[in-house]
Structure 1
Amino acid sequence: MSSGQLRQGLLQPLDDRLVRRLVAGQFPQWAGLPVERFPSGGTVNAMYRLGDGLVVRLPLIEGGAGDVLAEREWLPRLSPLLPAAVPEVLGAGEPDEGYPWPWSVYRWLPGEIPEAGALREPALLAGDLAGFVAAMRSVTLPDAPPAHRGGPLATLDEPTRSAIEELRGLPGEGFDCDALTAVWEDALRAPAWEGPPVWLHADLMPGNLLVDGGRLSSVIDFGCMGVGDPACDLFPAWNLLPAGAREVFREALGVDDAAWRRGRGRTLSQALIALPYYRETNAAMAGNARHVIQAVLAERC
């Protein structure tokens, strides 16, 4: 996605100066703090460090505005129910200075983004992730929204098959697209979830996780959260964890064969769609997509 596409709808460039004006105008108590863009592979929001202890998060596209409002509503209620730290909204910013959408100031959460293939404690991290997913599933807060990725797997069939066909023509990728199609069709044949919808983070990508000493310390970016098929929160099994830790994750959650197949299919679908879209513009997203595809193919061998 190009910077022009990302900023469509913005009346002026989103930069340090604009963020300083927004903060000074709405939160004068923080007006003197330094502002610095924080590098991120995210595509929906920009992040700016505000002093040492705060971060400003602003949507880059109109679709991210609803995520800001959802986090304001639900994170204070979810936070005490979860075993890892989650973002704490300290300031609810509103459109101003030509910036058209709501934005928020959060407490800064320290930690490192985990990297597939370079985990310090993969089995322990797998247990931590399973504990977080299990805690999300146990939430009983009423009136939950549907999760962004919580619906039937069949709704992803057309875009997933289109992505596989696009992948066939991409130079330098070299994946077995017939094998990928077989994995996808196996997921579609898996029995559907028949229980009540459960709470999900629904976007457990490595970039939305923070670790300290190899262990999970925080989970961020809850913009996709809501209720749906529990298989939707199995993403880390293939986008982050090596094979042995993947089994630790599965066993800790007690995932049956049907849910595992659906979860693998969902994770693969996300990667297949992301790779041709981001391969020239977002190295982090494209790299993780390749990792998922390789992990799924290796598991199926």
Structure 2
Amino acid sequence: MLIDKLITLIKTRHSALSKESISINESGWSNLVVVVGGRIVFRFPRTDSAKKTLQIEQRILPTLGPSLPLPIPQFLYASSPTDEITYVGYPLIKGDPLSPRALHSLSSKQKELVAKQLGEFLTALHTFPIENEFPSTIEASWTIKTWQRNYETIKRKCYPYMDPQLIAWTDRVFTRFLSDSASFHFSPCLLHNDFKPAHILYNSRQRAISGVIDFGSMWVGDPAYDFVGLHKAYGQEFAAQVIRHYGAPIDKAFFRRITDFYLKVMSFWKLLHGIETNNQRLIQSALEKLRMISKLDRA
């Protein structure tokens, strides 16, 4: 069994941890997580794409960490390039995911503190110098090409599962976005790229954010994209509150990209994952969500 193999690897390779308790989290799409002794997190990438991103994390996070106002994973353990199984291990950052329920239970003053922390974190992340880590030629056109590829993937893999009305709506949304030059009038920056409640840790005693985890989707792109998860989970009002504490550049189409495109197409990732894993329940759930979004969009 794969999990038994991973546990054996950890205990054999890192003998000081051999007698520690083990807990498993298999919920992630990109990584399987093993927590050792309630204090060390080991991440095992599930896909080739996740392995490539992990290499970027290993290169960037040690330099990025000290420049951020909140703790992020700092790797203590890592596989070697010749190992059959790829992994990293880092000290657990204490805290619970900042669920919408937890956020909305806070007082106005406490909520403002959280918004300030998140705004300052995204400011530091988005202004981190990327020229030493990515090609100097990186520009907004990379994002155009990325979304063109995403659109082609959706047409190839998702359209067979979709009805004509949903296909027509998808074509309109993508065509409108890709043909609008204002969609790409931004300066590319380093993104967390999966900034959502599960990856934002909250200390309920201190009533403050305690850290940000899972940079497994980290890439360079549109700064507006890191606000999509906040908008979707916590609502437009709180996302705007975070933006008031955001100090990086905001172009004229910043908010339009969030509401008119990114929020509308997020469920395609769920649909694609369902198709790739042959998870019929996930496929149907994603299709229902997309139908609902398309109906609201046409209303």
Q: Aligning the two structures, in what range does the TM-score lie when normalised by the shorter sequence?
A: 0.7 to 0.9
155 and 283 in structure 1: CA distance in 2 versus 1, 3 angstrom threshold: same
Q: Does 1:157 align with 2:145?
A: no
Give % identity.
20
TM-score normalised by structure 1 residue count? 0.74
Tell me the distance in 2 between the aligned counterparts of 1:134 and 1:34.
38
Query: Which of 121, 130, 135 is the equivalent residue of 1:132?
Result: 121
Uncovered stretches (5+) of structure 1, i.e. residues with no partner: 1-12
- Asked whether the equivalents of residues 158 and 271 of structure 2 are also in contact (C-alpha less than 8 Å), the reply is no
In 1, the alpha carbon distance for the partners of 2:35 and 2:2 equals 14
In proportion to residue count, which structure has more helix? 2
* Structure 1 counterpart of 2:7, one-letter code: R
Q: Flag the 1:237–1:281 CA change in 2: closer, same or farther, 3 A.
A: same
**What is residue 253 of structure 2 aligned with on the other side?**
258
- Structure-1 residue corresponding to 2:22: 35
Q: Cα distance 1:19–1:240, how it changes in 2: closer, same or farther (>3 A)? A: same
Q: 1:93/1:163 Cα in 2 relative to 1: closer, same or farther (>3 Å)?
A: closer
| Change over 3 Å in CA distance of 1:83–1:26 after alignment to 2 | same
What secondary structure is seen at the aligned counterpart in 1 of 2:97?
Answer: coil
User: Does the CA-based 8 Å contact 2:70-2:211 persist in structure 1?
Assistant: yes
Does the CA contact (< 8 Å) of 1:202 and 1:226 recur in 2? yes
Change (3 A) 1:296 1:196: same
Cα shift at 1:66:
2.1
Q: What secondary structure sits across from 1:119 in the alignment?
A: helix
1:233 correspondence with 2:221? no
**Aligned alpha-carbon RMSD (Å):** 3.9
2:10 matches 1:23:
yes
Mark the CA change 1:259 to 1:186 in structure 2 (over 3 Å): closer, same or farther: farther
Q: Cα deviations across residues 128-172 of structure 1 (Å, max 9, x unaligned)? A: 32222111111125422379x9622444333456788567549xx
Question: Partner of 1:197 in structure 2?
Answer: 188
Q: Deviations over 1:12-52 (max 9, x none)?
A: x321x323321232212222212221x35311111111002
Alignment partners' CA distance in 2, 1:296 and 1:237: 21
Partner in structure 2 of residue 278 of structure 1: 274
Residues 1-301 of structure 1 mapped to structure 2, 5 A cutoff: 13-15=1-3, 17-37=4-24, 39-94=25-80, 100-116=84-100, 119-120=103-104, 121=106, 124-145=113-134, 151-152=143-144, 153-159=147-153, 168-169=162-163, 184-188=174-178, 189=180, 191-213=182-204, 215-253=208-246, 255-264=250-259, 265-275=261-271, 277-278=273-274, 281=279
SS, match of residue 217 in structure 1: strand
Aligned length: 280
Q: TM-score, normalised by structure 2?
A: 0.74
- Secondary structure at the aligned position of 1:199 is classed as strand
User: Do the aligned partners of 2:42 and 2:90 also contact (CA within 8 Å) in 1?
Assistant: yes
Answer yes or no: is the 8 Å Cα contact 2:271–2:283 preserved in 1: yes
Against the structure 1 CA distance between its residues 85 and 129, is the aligned structure 2 distance closer, same or farther, given a 3 Å change threshold?
Answer: same
Alpha-carbon shift at residue 89 of structure 1 (Å) = 0.7
Mapped partners of 1:287, 1:114: distance in 2: 24
Q: How many angstroms apart in 2 are the aligned matches of 1:297 and 1:133? A: 33
| Structure 2 segments unaligned to the other structure (5+ residues) | none
Q: Deviations over 1:91-116 (max 9, x none)?
A: 113489xx823211110112112334
1:71: Cα distance to partner?
A: 1.9
